[in-house]
Amino acid sequence: MSTIALKNVTKSFRDHQIISGIDLELSGNACTVLVGPSGCGKSTLLRLICGLEEPTTGEVHIDGRCVNTLPPVERGIAMVFQSYALYPHMTVFDNMAFALKISGCSKTDIAQRVHKAAKTLNVEHLLDRKPKELSGGQRQRVAIGRAIVRHPKIFLFDEPLSNLDAALRVKMRHELARLKAELKTTMIYVTHDQSEAMTLADTIVVMRDGRIEQAGTPLSLYHHPENLFVAGFIGSPTMNFLKAIVEKIQSQYLVLRFDSGETLSIPITRAELSARKPSLSLGETITVGIRPEDIKEEVSSTEDGAIFSGKVSLVENLGNETHVWVTLPGGATLNLRQAKKDVPHALGQEVALLVRAARCHIFDPQGKAIQRTQKEAACSP
Amino acid sequence: MARSSPLRRLGFGLFCSIIVVLCLFPFYWAMVSSLKSGTEIFATDLWPKALTFQNYGTILQDASFGRSFLNSTLVALSTVGMALLLSITASFALARIPFRGRKRILLAILSVTMFPQVAVLSGMFELVRFFGLYNHCSALILSYMTITVPFTAWTLTNFMREIPKELEEAAIIDGASYLTILVKIFLPILSPALVTTGLLAFIAAWNEFLFALTFTLTNQARTVPVAISLLSGASQHELPWGNIMAASVLVTLPLVVLVVIFQRRIISGLTVGAVKG
């Protein structure tokens, strides 16, 4: 169990700033997932923590101690690489024992630790093989085993599953979750896959362009994204966004008008509205976000919301559910989730959709979310 | 191209045979000549009428030839050893450690390999004299390094670049020093490349003539190529072709043996880039 603190860390390569001023504190036996689109600096951040890169400015602290100048091996970390990076000329046993040999462990100690790690990862029968004789999943296990044997304080994973095929990726994800529960150490995991982030993380840190966009538990990010980027990044299929104009500001409601003419009254208090400075004014264009599962097709519903009509433009059957894309007359598209029991849609079919007011996210013209307490209540159906 | 016609295949076979004959005939001629005796050597028979190993006997009993053979072995092995040591460390730096002027150094190394030997001969001679190495095997080792090191360093740098960066980083995280990374990780991975470049360097040093002729004076320091060229007969006007041919064959044998031994590794050395963790 360790604490990691980044204090105003920046990193530039030549004139190009990759990490611009990050403050972050992680502690406990938690798994923190750094997630973001490629090039957002998440891998660089990981390399700064493990010591493969030095920060340009700022400090990296591990357990309260500044480790800026410490070499990786003295930081008590272990790292699993995307490409496994197994030593090709060594057997699995030697791969796992390499770090222990360097640190001067006794032979019996090494053998014991390697066998224990191999057992945890079900690779005991592979100890005499070379990496080239292993499958992708087995290589990944060995790479993890190489990290485990050292009993590190902190585990770092750099997109460990992105080289595996889809089925194996899910399997290894489950194993990582099991491992996480067994090892009880601090883990930092980098991925660009938001579903990996959602399933493995205790805390998700969403990054973009070298900055932290939002950090929090997976569900808080899902239900209360702080800005448009996080709202669009977390969740699959992605959240729908519609532009709307502020038409009326009432004591309990915000009335919005969409381009296509529909109006929507969103429950919000004065206090919540005034939390945003400067406060919204009439005529401003804001963005309404709605998750695919919060769009209903029961037009007769008495629930508050806006009714949109459009044509089905794409249908994806997943078996357990169906994703339907509907193009609105204005050109915008809405995607929604249909449960299995619903009547399947045909392409080109006219449908009417209810966007539920209680479940809408609203974002000001700068893309920052305006949080509403009424929405929270609606989040648990 | 579907299946090639018989005519086409015949043509290809013929073409290949011509190349093989062109390459191997001089060596065959040397071998056959070495087995002839007396005036028969001046006949154009493709096979000697009477086989004789007399020429080999003469050469093997010649003490100075034995000495030259030892010198050649010593010079070639030392050259290969030192060239590999220097170029392994140099190529590690050139391929793996970013520093200013890295490209220029590589370019300089490449351009050094382009100079003809004659161009550096007189300068090298001054250098050898300055160090007091004239007529000494170490003069040859030193001068051969100027031929072999640029080539081996350039080749090994390119091979070393092929090794994925993550391997090095994994080793750093495992706590390995640069030296450990080089010895325990890089060298085993590079071993086919090392064998290939080492062998080529050995052949170059073994066959070298110009420097060996210029920097040595007596049999004490001579290497085989020079010794062969200086073999003389009973009189000034007689060239002992039989002995020369026998010596040539004897000198070629170590190379053939080395290449046969390392053949498999040379081939895998050419595809070292395909090896990925």
Interface confidence (ipTM) of the complex: 0.82
Extended strands (E) in A291-347: 295-296, 305-317, 321-327, 333-339
- Whether the per-residue pLDDT at B140 is higher than 50: the answer is yes
CA-wise closest residue to A120 among A145, A137, A140: A145
A-side interface with B, Cβ within 8 Å?
Answer: 50, 52, 71-73, 77-79, 81-90, 98-99, 102-103, 131, 146, 150
3-state secondary structure of A102: helix
- Whether the per-residue pLDDT at A263 is higher than 90: the answer is no
**CA torsion B73→B75→B77→B78, rounded to 10°?**
150
Residue A23 gets the label, from left (phi > 0), alpha (psi -120 to 50) or beta, of: beta
Do residues A20 and A210 touch, judged by C-beta distance below 8 A?
A: yes
- Whether the per-residue pLDDT at B21 is higher than 80: the answer is yes
All residues at 6 or more sequence positions from A324 whose CB lies less than 8 Å from its CB, including other chains: A312, A314, A315, A316, A335, A336, A337, A338, A345, A351
* β-pairing verdict for A154-158 and A186-191: parallel
Asked if B173's CB is within 8 angstroms of A79's CB, the reply is yes
Give the per-residue pLDDT at A252: 84
Asked if A88's CB is within 8 angstroms of B174's CB, the reply is no
Instruction: Kindly identify which residue of chain A lies nearest to residue B189, measuring between CA atoms.
Output: A89
Give the per-residue pLDDT at A375: 58
Sheet holding A16-26, edge to edge: A16-26, A4-13, A57-62, A65-66
Do residues B106 and B94 touch, judged by C-beta distance below 8 A?
A: yes
Q: In whole angstroms, what is the distance from residue A274 CA to residue A118 CA?
A: 58
Mean pLDDT of chain B: 86
Prior bond of A237 cis (ω within 30°): yes
Candidates A88, A99, A103; nearest CB to B189: A88
Give the least confident one: A73-87, A330-344, B245-259. A330-344
Q: Rounded to two decimals, what is the model's pTM? A: 0.79
Instruction: Kindly identify which residue of chain A lies nearest to residue B190, measuring between CA atoms.
Output: A89
User: What are A26's strand-pairing partners?
Assistant: A4
B-chain residues near A85 (CB < 8 A): 164, 166-167, 169-170, 277
pLDDT per residue as tens digits for the range B157-205: 988 988 888 899 999 999 999 899 999 999 988 888 898 899 989 999 9
- Given the candidates 1.10.3720.10, 3.40.50.1580, 1.10.3470.10, 3.30.110.40, the CATH classification of the domain at B63-274 is 1.10.3720.10
Give the per-residue pLDDT at A58: 92
Give the per-residue pLDDT at B94: 93
pLDDT per residue as tens digits for the range A106-162: 999 999 999 999 998 889 999 999 988 888 889 989 999 999 998 898 999 999 888
Express the helix, strand and coil content of chain A in percent, nearest 5 each. 30, 35, 35
Angle at the Cα of A165 from the Cα atoms of A159 and A166, rounded to 5 degrees: 90
Asked if A50's CB is within 8 angstroms of B277's CB, the reply is no
Beta-carbon contacts below 8 Å between A and B: 63
A-chain residues near B184 (CB < 8 A): 98
Domains and CATH numbers, chain A: 4-233 (3.40.50.300), 240-379 (2.40.50.140)
B-side interface with A, Cβ within 8 Å?
Answer: 164, 166-167, 169-176, 180, 184-185, 188-189, 275-277
B-chain residues near A102 (CB < 8 A): 174-176, 180
Asked if B185's CB is within 8 angstroms of A52's CB, the reply is no
The residue assigned the tokens 């479940």 is A359
All residues at 6 or more sequence positions from A165 whose CB lies less than 8 Å from its CB, including other chains: A136
User: What are A286's strand-pairing partners?
Assistant: A244
For the segment B242-266, the average pLDDT, to the nearest whole number, is 86
Instruction: Kindly identify which residue of chain B lies nearest to residue A85, measuring between CA atoms.
Output: B167
Q: How confident is the model at residue A101 (pLDDT cuts 50, 70, 90)?
A: very high
Mean pLDDT of chain A: 88
Q: What is the DSSP code (8-state) at residue A300?
A: T
DSSP conformation letters of chain B: --SPPHHHHHHHHHHHHHHHHHHHHHHHHHHHHHT--GGGGGS--SS-SS---HHHHHHHH-HHHHHHHHHHHHHHHHHHHHHHHHHHHHHHHHHHS--TTHHHHHHHHHHHTTS-HHHHHHHHHHHHHHTT-TTSHHHHHHHHHHHHHHHHHHHHHHHHHHS-HHHHHHHHHTT--HHHIIIIIIHHHHHHHHHHHHHHHHHHHHH--HHHHHH--STTT--HHHHHHT---SSTT---HHHHHHHHHHHHHHHHHHHHHHHHHHHHHHTGGG---
Candidates B180, B188, B276; nearest CB to A102: B180
Q: In whole angstroms, what is the distance from residue A23 CA to residue A25 CA?
A: 7
CA-wise closest residue to A159 among A36, A21, A2: A36
Candidates B173, B185, B276; nearest CB to A72: B173
Residue B176, φ and ψ in degrees, nearest 5: -80, 140
User: What are A170's strand-pairing partners?
Assistant: none
B-chain residues near A83 (CB < 8 A): 164, 166, 277
Give the per-residue pLDDT at A136: 85
Q: How many angstroms from the chain centroid is the CA of residue A293?
A: 19
Asked if A131's CB is within 8 angstroms of B277's CB, the reply is yes
Q: How far is CA A155 from CA A149, A239, A254, in A?
A: 12, 32, 47
Q: How confident is the model at residue B3 (pLDDT cuts 50, 70, 90)?
A: low
Give the per-residue pLDDT at B268: 61
pLDDT per residue as tens digits for the range B39-69: 777 777 778 777 888 888 888 888 888 899 9
Do residues A159 and A165 touch, judged by C-beta distance below 8 A?
A: no
- Whether the per-residue pLDDT at A268 is higher than 50: the answer is yes
Q: What is the DSSP code (8-state) at residue A266?
A: E
Q: How confident is the model at residue B277 (pLDDT cuts 50, 70, 90)?
A: very low
Give the per-residue pLDDT at A380: 39
Q: In whole angstroms, what is the distance from residue B34 CA to residue B20 CA?
A: 21
pLDDT per residue as tens digits for the range A239-250: 999 999 999 888
Sheet holding A253-258, edge to edge: A263-267, A253-258, A240-249, A285-290, A361-363, A369-370
Q: What is the DSSP code (8-state) at residue A253?
A: E
Asked if A102's CB is within 8 angstroms of B189's CB, the reply is no
User: Which amino acid does the sequence have at A72?
Assistant: P
Asked if A73's CB is within 8 angstroms of B173's CB, the reply is yes
Q: In whole angstroms, what is the distance from residue B212 CA to residue B209 CA?
A: 5
The residue assigned the tokens 């030697």 is A94
Angle at the Cα of B219 from the Cα atoms of B227 and B222, rounded to 5 degrees: 55
A-chain residues near B180 (CB < 8 A): 102
Residue of B173, B180, B184, B186 to mutate for A, most A C-beta atoms under 10 A: B173
B-chain residues near A103 (CB < 8 A): 175
Residue of A48, A50, A84 to mutate for B, most B C-beta atoms under 10 A: A84
Residue extents of the structural domains in chain B: 1-52, 63-274
